[in-house]
Structure 1
């Protein structure tokens, strides 16, 4: 009987307007605390992911991507880089190269990208900064790369998957007229909102959105590029040719 009496009393309390108001306040306060905790955890996760991405990008600072070089049986990718260096007016020796290899599985279509990791940053920069010289490559006797193929070669930073997607979105924003240019500089992502305007370094897709597309709706995000799109990635900025591939 006591149990039934207690149950009845509680039901009467729930019907009381003042009690309902107090209960709502208690629940609202508890939910606010939980919401704050969730927001804080999300912020910590975002910062951690950004930090991890930056560490991964830094680990790639000695690497470059070389695309457009035809594949041949039993080729030496080291020799390809050495010969491309000669054609661009840069001396690259096998000792300057830590490792080189093609990326991905051969499909019989476009040649796979070559990733080259240098042993020192200065030589990497010398090779990378000479990339425009390959527009009119120097003829090199005995080169494993023809001058015609060298002229179609594309040298770019090697950037993380997250940064690839951010630069892909930047290219979409350029097409929409929301920014003037976007490019990478030793893995650092940079944008310019208008011609002649200041250069802004961005660290994430969120920072890109804040700078170039503050009215963006999350449901309007473009789909991530396919692997094929990544291999053929071209930057938003026409005068600085750069690509990205993990």
Structure 2
């Protein structure tokens, strides 16, 4: 019995001493590693990132890794590029549109100016159509014979030049372009040209328009024949129409510069662009 009591006392002493050591230790019971006051060298912090970098580098060298991340990187780069490129694309598009508009306006102004100069060069000219064409003809004599119907005292010196142009159309003779010596003589002929145009010999005198203006005037005559306007005529290369009111009476007189101004004319989308100087 005495021996058992001694063993119990020894075990109790052992527990007491163990608890005293645990209470005096700064280490948490859950942390089996004791804290050390020894400073940690800098190499401990640099060695791990270097090693990680090397591992990542070796991993990126593998084809399967590159194939896996390439689509994601491409998508990210594309989004970033589009983010910065989109405003530039819009700016370029706006500049192109502005440049195109300015170019069209300048081309239109240039074509109109060139057409005005060309028409001015035809100021003293008149075309005469319907004069019979014969072999070895003297065109000047035929022209004077026709013009005497409106100017009885017209003389060869009133005509500066004359020649036939174009090709015969449906058996009709080629027209004759007559350049008169003075604008006054031309005005007198154009004022009384109805005397010649109404004759039964099918000889007509009109203004010598540029191809551009002749094309517009042709469409104006079509509108007149369709009773969409009450008249159309030219004066000094300018084209005029008399509009038609709903009741059929005469409306206002308008100078036109384009086919789209003609009542009843339906342009195609291409014709809404500035008209060519020389339409076919």
Q: TM-score, normalised by structure 2?
A: 0.62
Q: Which residue of 1 aligns with 2:260?
A: 209
Paired position in structure 1 for 2:155: 93
Pairing 1:38–2:89 present:
no
Q: How many residues align?
A: 204
Alignment of 1:144-183 (within 5 A): 149=201, 152-183=202-233
Which of 240, 243, 252 does residue 198 from structure 1 map onto? 252
CA 1:133/1:211 → structure 2, altered by over 3 Å: closer, same or farther?
closer
**1:26-74 deviations in whole A, cap 9, x for unaligned?**
3112201111011101110111001101110111010111111111222
Partner of 1:76: 138
User: Aligned-pair distance for 1:92?
Assistant: 1.3
Question: Is 2:105 aligned against 1:55?
Answer: no
Report whether the alignment pairs 1:102 with 2:164: yes
- The SS at the match of 2:161 is strand
CA distance in 2, matches of 1:95, 1:120: 10
Q: 2: CA distance between counterparts of 1:6 and 1:178?
A: 69
Contact in 2 for aligned 1:90/1:127 (Cα 8 Å): no
Structure 1: any 5+ residue segments left out of the alignment?
138-147, 222-229, 231-246
State the SS of the aligned residue for 1:78.
helix
Structure 1 position 174, deviation (Å): 3.4
**Alignment partners' CA distance in 1, 2:214 and 2:118:** 13
Per-residue deviation, 1:108: 8.3
Query: Which residue, out of 87, 102, 107, partners 1:25?
Result: 87
Unaligned runs of 5+ in 2: 1-56, 61-65, 273-279
CA distance in 1 between partners of 2:269 and 2:225 (Å):
18
Number of the residue aligned with 2:76? 12
Q: Matched residue of 2:78: which SS? A: helix
Distance between the aligned counterparts of 2:197 and 2:104, measured in 1? 47
Asked whether the 8 Å contact 2:220–2:262 carries over to 1, the reply is no
Distance apart, 1:107 and its partner CA: 7.0
Change in 2 beyond 3 A, CA 1:29/1:84 = same
Q: Distance in 2 between matches of 1:82 and 1:122?
A: 16
What per-residue deviation string (whole Å, max 9, x for no partner) do you get for residues 86-110 of structure 1? Answer: 2234321110001011112457811
Cα RMSD of the aligned pairs, angstroms, is 3.2
CA distance change for structure 1 residues 108 and 177 in 2, over 3 Å: closer, same or farther? closer
Distance 1:108 1:193, change over 3 A: closer
1:81–1:92 CA contact under 8 A, matched in 2: no
The structure showing larger relative contact order (alpha-carbon pairs under 8 Å, at least 6 residues apart) is 1
